[in-house]
Amino acid sequence: MDSNLLQKFQWENQSDVKIDNDSILIKAHPNSDFFNDPSSGGNMSKRNAAFYYTDVKEDFVLRAKVTHQFKSVYDACTLMVMSNDCCWAKLCFELTDFGTHAVVSVVTNGVSDDANGVNIDGNTVYLQMAKKDKVFALHYSLDGNEYKMVRYFSLPVDDIFKAGFVAQSPMGEGGEYMFENIVLKNESISDMRKGV
């Protein structure tokens, strides 16, 4: 990632960050998340996870290799796009309540949903989030080259919105979460389903 771009990043729910070339190490707060619980109509919500973001507009691609220690249920390295407290989406590499390491997606348009995806062996995976017009696509990769689709959806974001990295620990004591090989570009990918 261009070091000049990192100077434009800022915090929602500030935490500790270590930056080294194209990698970012973020400390997750204990009991932290972004989730508007659908069982409560969005009234029981957490919006306290460390979110390190920059403003983006138009089409973009955000990509990172993510790693963490999977200490507590729902601990996750996350890519997130946010327009406001009721309009956002995140792509997580998470310790699920089934005991798996999985790629999980959450889309919030008023209230959040929660969709477990593919299980991953190990503590590392590549995540990618892309926007083209009003459509978003979420992808994962095992090698950083071939991406597979997790989700394809529309979200009514504002013309300028936030995109970046979340370190979450909804039921745990937090920890250090690594984002490497970071790419953030204002461009359109040609095939949203294939992620290229």
Q: What is the pLDDT of residues 5-47, one digit of tens each?
A: 667 899 999 999 999 888 999 999 999 999 999 988 777 789 9
- CA 181/CA 24 separation, integer angstroms: 9
Does residue 190 belong to any structural domain of this protein? no
Structure-token match 């979450």, residue found: 168
Does residue 192 belong to any structural domain of this protein? no
Does residue 194 belong to any structural domain of this protein? no
CATH of the domain at 142: 2.60.120.200
Q: What is the pLDDT of residues 132-146, one digit of tens each?
A: 998 999 999 999 999
Does residue 191 belong to any structural domain of this protein? no
The tokens for 22 are: 């194209």
pLDDT, mean of residues 181-192 = 94
Does residue 193 belong to any structural domain of this protein? no
At residue 4, the pLDDT reads 62
Q: What is the pLDDT of residues 93-111, one digit of tens each?
A: 999 999 999 999 999 999 9
Residue 158 has pLDDT above 80, yes or no: yes
Domains in the chain, number: 1
Does residue 173 belong to any structural domain of this protein? yes
Instruction: Kindly write down the DSSP assignment for every residue of 109-160, as one continuous string.
Output: ESEE--EEEEE-SSSEEEEEEEEETTEEEEEEESSSSS-EEEEEEE----SE
Does residue 107 belong to any structural domain of this protein? yes
3 φ, ψ (degrees, to nearest 5) = -60, -30
At residue 6, the pLDDT reads 66
Domain of 58, in residue numbers: 3-185
Q: What pTM value is reported for the model?
A: 0.95
Question: What is the DSSP secondary structure assignment for residue 29, as one 8-state letter?
Answer: P
Question: How many other C-beta atoms can be found within 10 angstroms of the C-beta atom of residue 8?
Answer: 12
At residue 1, the pLDDT reads 56
Q: What is the pLDDT of residues 56-75, one digit of tens each?
A: 999 999 999 999 999 999 99
Does residue 122 belong to any structural domain of this protein? yes
Confidence of residue 2 (pLDDT cuts 50, 70, 90): low
At residue 127, the pLDDT reads 98
